[in-house]
Amino acid sequence: MPLWASFGLIIASFFTSALTAAFALGGGVTLLAVMSLALPIAVLIPLHGVVQFASNAGRLGIQRRSVRWDKALPFILGGLIGAAIGAKTVVTLPEEILRLLLGTFILATIFLKLPSLGRLKDWQYGLAGAVTTFLSMFIGASGPLNAVLFTRAFKDRKQVVATMASVTASQHALKVAAFLAAGVALGPYALLAAAMIATGFLGTLAGTRLLNHLDERLFRRLLAVMLSVLAVELIRRGVFGFIR
């Protein structure tokens, strides 16, 4: 990889981590798009998973006091089941259909009046964790789905971001474990990963400072806009996938 490309990824890690630390999502998808310009497809997803696990773990460490563990733990336990199933399952549903369904679901949850999700029982959070972790093994769209769940469950933006950090870190950890078990070798990219993790942590610090000064209404409006953009992009990719 050219040196300039490595520096580009290291810098991108800072800004995308700051984005996620402030708004709970967007950074992972953006970083994946940037990394796809410079990395071979064979290591793209697992290396992205390593960097994102570290980014979310760092955010979790900084924002740990705001985590709603009563909701996060059932979700994480359900994720273990979803990852185990996903690792042994061949999904026959075309990826284009999954993207269309996910994009439509996200838009519906944003613009339709739905009951509060804060009253879900533990087993229902566990089921949500299993489903989104299972999907993340194939399409990497768990961020928007997690955001839809937790923005409706909590009224405090800090609880939204911190709790999402805990569950997203667990999902990336499970994906990385699955790739390593499959024999994916990331040794040649260890220095790049370490540098991206370091700048990502600095970005998390910067994004957390922004989060602490954001107005609650502004935060939720900006998050709704970001979710809408991601949902439209999922639908666009699904439609164009069929056209091709």
How many residues are listed for the chain in this entry?
A: 244
Predicted local distance difference test score (pLDDT) of residue 167: 92
Each of the 244 residues of the chain gets a pLDDT tens digit; together they read: 788 889 999 999 999 888 888 876 777 777 877 887 888 767 877 888 889 899 889 889 988 999 999 989 999 999 888 888 876 665 555 767 767 877 787 787 677 665 555 567 888 889 988 988 887 776 655 677 787 778 777 888 889 889 988 998 998 888 788 778 777 778 889 999 999 999 999 999 998 888 888 787 887 788 788 778 877 887 888 888 777 6
Angle of helix 27-35 relative to helix 41-63, nearest 10 degrees, comes to: 150
Q: Do residues 135 and 145 lie in contact, with contact meaning Cβ atoms separated by under 8 Å? A: yes
Q: Which helix (H) or strand (E) holds 184?
A: none
Res 228: pLDDT = 83
State the virtual CA torsion across 225, 36, 166, 10 in degrees, nearest 10.
Answer: -100
- In the chain, which residue ranges form alpha helices assigned H by DSSP? 3-23, 27-35, 41-63, 69-87, 95-111, 122-136, 142-153, 157-181, 190-213, 216-243
Residue 204, φ and ψ in degrees, nearest 5: -65, -40
Number of domains within the chain: 1
| Of the candidates 218, 68, 206, 48, the residue with the CA atom closest to the CA atom of residue 142 | 48
Concatenated DSSP letters of 102-170: HHHHHHHHHHS----STT--HHHHHHHHHHHHHHHTTT--HHHHHHHHHHHH-S-HHHHHHHHHHHHHH
Domain of 108, in residue numbers: 3-243
Give me the pLDDT at residue 195, please: 95
Q: Which of 78, 21, 229, 219 is nearest to 144 (CA)?
A: 229
Q: How far is 82 from 73, CA to CA, in rounded Å? A: 14
Distance CA 120, CA 114 (A): 13
Cα 234 to chain centroid, rounded: 14
pLDDT on residue 144: 72
CB atoms under 10 Å from CB of 173, counted, come to 20
Nearest to 22 by CA among 230, 136, 154, 164: 164
